[in-house]
Amino acid sequence: MNYAQAKELLTKYGQLQLLDYYDELTSDQQQKLLSDIQKLDFSVLENLGATHSKELGNLSPADALSVEEIECSKQQYEEAGLSALRSGKVAAVLLAGGQGTRLGSSLPKGMFNIGVTRKLTIFEQQMNNIKEVTDRAGCMFHIFIMTSDLNDAQTRAYFEECNYFGYDPQKIHFYEQKLAPTCSKDGKIYLDEKYKVSLSPNGNGGWYSSLVDAGYAQLLKEEGIEWLNIYAVDNVLQRICDPVFIGATLQSGCACSGKVVKKAAPEERVGVLCKEDGLPTIVEYYEMPPELASLRDADGQLTYRYGVILNYLFSVEVLNKIYRDKLPCHLAFKAIPHIENGVRVTPSEPCGYKFETLAVDIVRLMGSCLAFEVVREREFAPVKNKTGVDSVESARQLLKLNGVKL
Ligand code: UTP
């Protein structure tokens, strides 16, 4: 793309500000900027203006397999899960393409050190959790790791440097998700540098389409992988490919399942697994009407009590039918570094939008979902913020509670 073509394209979309500094750039920088502009997906901007919460259909609370019920059938589920793992039917997908802006570290989130007297990164802790399962199963499962262009090289290099934490490198596969432009409140795409468009990961909703685009559908087929367990990088107590969870899901006949915890309080910032017009749906905390969030059953429990922890098991067969369906685009209002009046600024407060599709929206498309309750203190220690709620501090406390030496 040359300057004239870029100018024509940007005029069409009202984004000419991207060329404001073109004349100041070296010719390499000009080429870089033109190439960024050529690759831009302007369609995400159509979602601006739709910042209001979505209209909810007819909501009802979802049932879950409770901790007590699971305990009663634990052995039977576990055997079924271990057998599925041993026959290679299950693989894991680590969602590690996010930027972790709230944590304020420029490293991939998984490289964050949660150790105190020794170094223990989130990646290492999660690989330790995996080892418990692979030791028990006597075999290793495939692990797909989704990164983005912004952290792929660092993530790969870190795994290599750590010798893949003793895991079989042939069973670890990296792939990149897509990026989307970011923009100001009034819809102007930001420049990250005068020669570079501001791009950010386009949410975790594209985890399966990006995996297919990276050519891994063939591997799933060849290896007979029928189920994919996706999990977030930022929960250090994450139980990955948990045999009990797998067994319960297989026996439920559902197309997917999600681990849930009882919400600590009506206002806790987790999505809630509900039924909407009869279909399993995760309603984000900011979309949930407060009167429903605080509704209680006769026994005092929250009616809408099951919060999701981003650990889901999906049937590959069903995913293959729905993964190209359009997912809703969510606008995330964030602090985005950008060029303003010729200077790069790093705001501490949200200033503009990122565009994201979310994995939770796939659950609805799957048609049926088993909610599987787990004990919060054993499985949910999110590392979202530097301090306070869901922070490094709270995650450390929970790790200690679970006997992890920090
Ligand atoms: P979050 O929604 O917490 O986003 O991600 P984030 O980018 O990590 O953190 P903030 O909001 O900027 O502070 C939940 C999970 O989804 C992954 C993250 O890596 C994390 O495991 N994710 C998020 C992706 O893989 N891709 C994305 O585009 C966004």
Name every protein residue with a CB atom under 6 angstroms from any ligand 1 atom. 95-102, 109, 146, 177, 201-204, 232-234, 310, 356, 384
Domains of the chain: 1-40 (no CATH), 41-401 (3.90.550.10)
Atom of ligand 1 nearest to the CA of 359: 16
203 Cα: distance to centroid of ligand 1 (angstroms): 7
Strands 330-334 and 352-356: antiparallel
308 Cα: distance to centroid of ligand 1 (angstroms): 15
Q: For residue 54, what pLDDT is reported? A: 64
Q: What is the pLDDT along the chain (406 residues), one digit of tens a residue?
A: 999 999 999 999 999 999 999 999 999 999 999 999 999 999 999 988 765 556 788 999 999 999 999 999 999 999 999 999 999 999 999 999 998 878 888 899 999 999 999 999 999 999 999 999 999 999 999 999 999 999 999 999 999 999 999 999 999 999 999 999 999 999 999 999 999 999 999 999 999 999 999 999 999 999 999 999 999 999 999 999 999 999 999 999 999 999 999 999 999 989 999 999 999 999 988 889 999 999 999 999 999 999 999 999 999 999 999 999 989 898 989 999 999 999 999 999 999 999 999 999 999 999 999 999 999 999 999 999 988 889 999 999 999 999 999 9
* Residue nearest (by alpha carbon) to ligand 1 atom 10: 100
Q: For residue 273, what pLDDT is reported? A: 96
Q: Is 306 exposed, middle or buried (0-12, 13-18, 19+ CB in 10 A)?
A: buried
Q: For residue 53, what pLDDT is reported? A: 55
* Residue nearest (by alpha carbon) to ligand 1 atom 28: 203
For the whole model, what pTM was predicted?
Answer: 0.93
